[in-house]
Amino acid sequence: MIAVRTVSATECNRHFSKILRDVCAGETVIVTLRGKPVAEIRSANRTVADREAAKQALFTRLCSQPVLNLPRIRRDELYDD
């Protein structure tokens, strides 16, 4: 289990070096701005098992969402003339 900690943007700014050391040690840090999560700092050296677990969680989430039958949009409709 990965340890998760929440810090404010101000605290993150003041203690960034320590937060990076904690992240290198395996901790995940959620940064909040005015009480709302805005960023997640985690190790870039994740294992293959971690990536596969994250991919499986994403697929599970996507499969549980309803299908939206939206009309097809052409490329030229995306841009203003």
20-69 pLDDT tens trace? 999 988 899 999 999 999 999 988 877 778 788 889 999 999 999 998 88
Angle at 32 between CA 31 and CA 36, to 5 degrees: 140
pLDDT band at 7 (very low <50, low <70, confident <90, very high): very high
Q: Which string of DSSP letters, residue by residue, matches the chain?
A: ---EEEEEHHHHHHTHHHHHHHHHTT-EEEEEETTEEEEEE--S---HHHHHHHHHHHHHHHHHSPPP-PPP--HHHHS--
Q: Which CATH architecture has domain 4-65?
A: 3-Layer(aba) Sandwich (3.40)
Q: Identify the pLDDT of residue 19.
A: 95
Domain ranges of the chain: 4-65
